Amino acid sequence: MTQYGATPRDSVALDDERRALVIIDQTKLPRAVSVLSLTAQEEIYRAIATLQVRGAPAIGVAAAIGVYLAALGIETDDWDKFYSRFVSAKQYLASSRPTAVNLFWALDRMEGVVIRNKNLPVSGIKYLLRDEAERIHDEDIRVCRAIGEHGLGLIRDGWGILTHCNAGRLAAVRYGTALAPLHLGRERGRNFKVFADETRPLLQGARLTAFELMEDGIDTTVICDNTVSRVMQNGWIQAVLVGCDRMAANGDACNKIGTSGVAIIARHYGVPFYVCAPTSTIDMNVPNGNGIVIEERAASEVTEMWYGERMAPEGAKVYNPAFDVTPADLITAVVTEHGVLRPPYGESLTALRPIQGLQRPDQYR
C-alpha cells in the first residue's frame, strides 16, 4: 500500500530492474490505494481489460511498457522469429480493449522500432524498445501539462466546472487531460468549484475524479448523472471539461458513456463544452464517429458490481456500452497539446496533422 497524495507517484511506470509494469489499481479506489507490479503478460492484459489501469493515455503507456516486457522474454537472436513473437504479443495486448485509440497508437509505435531497426542485433532492439516505452511515458507527462496550460486559458478563477468520468492524473501518467487545467490552476492559487457526476455504471467520477481532486484540495461536489440539467439550470456551471478516447477526423469525440448527453444539455443552457484530447487520441483514419467501435461490457457492471445485493431481476436484459460519440457540432473547442482548436474541426484537425505524428496501423507494413 502506498499513499496517493497531492504530489503522487506516476499512475503508470516501468520498473526495469524488476521487469514490471507498475500501476495504481483503480478498481480499489477510493477505499484503498494499492500499487501493483505486473510482470506476466496475462496480468498486464487483465489489468487493462478489467480497468485496473484505465484512461486512454494511461492505457497507451501501459501497453507500450507491456509489449517491451514481452519482448524481453523472447529468447532468440533471429530477427524474423523475434518479430513474429513480438507481433503475437502486440496483438494479444491490442485485444484487451477495442475503443481507446491510444492502445493501438502506442503498440504501433513500439512495432515501428522493431521494423526500423531490423539490421540491429535483437539485444539492441530490446534496448531501443525500452527507450521508446520510456519516451511514450515521458511524452504523456509533457503533453498533459501542455493541455493543462491551454485549457487553463479557457476557464476563470471561481468558475463552476462540470466533468464526466475521470480524465485526470489517474487516467494518465500525471496531470491528466480534462482535469489538467484544474490541477495546474490549483498550483497557481486559482479556485474552481468542480461538479463530478458519478458516471454510471463504473462510478469513475464518484470514485476517481472526486478522490484525486480532493487530494489536491479542490472544491469538489459529487452529483448523480441525472443531476446535470439541474446544476446547469441553477447557473452553477460555467464550463464542461471532458476527456476523449478517440476522436474522428471530423471532430466527433468518443468518450465515456453519457458524455453526449452532457453535451446536449450544455448546448441547451449555453454552457461551453470543451474536449481535452491529446493528439494521440485523434484518429484521422476514421472519417466520423460512425466508424468508431463501441465496446460493450458485462451486464454485471450494471446489475450488481457496486451493490451488496443484486439490484435488477434475474433474466432482465442489460445494454452496457462503455462509450458514446459526441457530435462535433456540440463541441465548443478541442484542447490539444498544440493549442485550442475551433470548428470546423475537419479543417483544424487536418491543419494539425503534419505536426501531430499520428501513426497509421499500416504505416510499417
| Residues with a known catalytic role | 245
What is the dihedral sign for C-alpha 112, 118, 120, 124?
positive
Distance CA 72, CA 68 (A): 6
Distance CA 149, CA 115 (A): 36
The DSSP symbol for 209 reads I
Residue 248's beta-bridge partner residues?
Answer: 283
Distance CA 202, CA 166 (A): 11
Other Cβ atoms within 10 Å of 181 Cβ, number: 28
Distance CA 117, CA 79 (A): 10
The position carrying cell 461490457 is 297
Helix (H, G, I), strand (E, B) or coil at 361: coil
Cβ–Cβ < 8 Å for 240, 266:
yes
Q: Which three cell numbers stand for residue 238?
A: 460555467
Residue 340's beta-bridge partner residues?
Answer: 335
Can you say whether residue 249 is alpha, beta or left, with left for phi > 0 and alpha for psi between -120 and 50 degrees? alpha
Q: Which three cell numbers stand for residue 263?
A: 453535451
Distance CA 12, CA 31 (A): 19
Longest dimension (CA), the chain: 66
Q: Which three cell numbers stand for residue 185?
A: 490552476
Angle subtended at Cα 133 by Cα 129 and Cα 138, rounded to the nearest 5 degrees: 145
Rg, C-alpha atoms of the chain:
20
Whether residue 201 has a cis bond before it, omega within 30° of 0: yes
Distance CA 237, CA 194 (A): 9
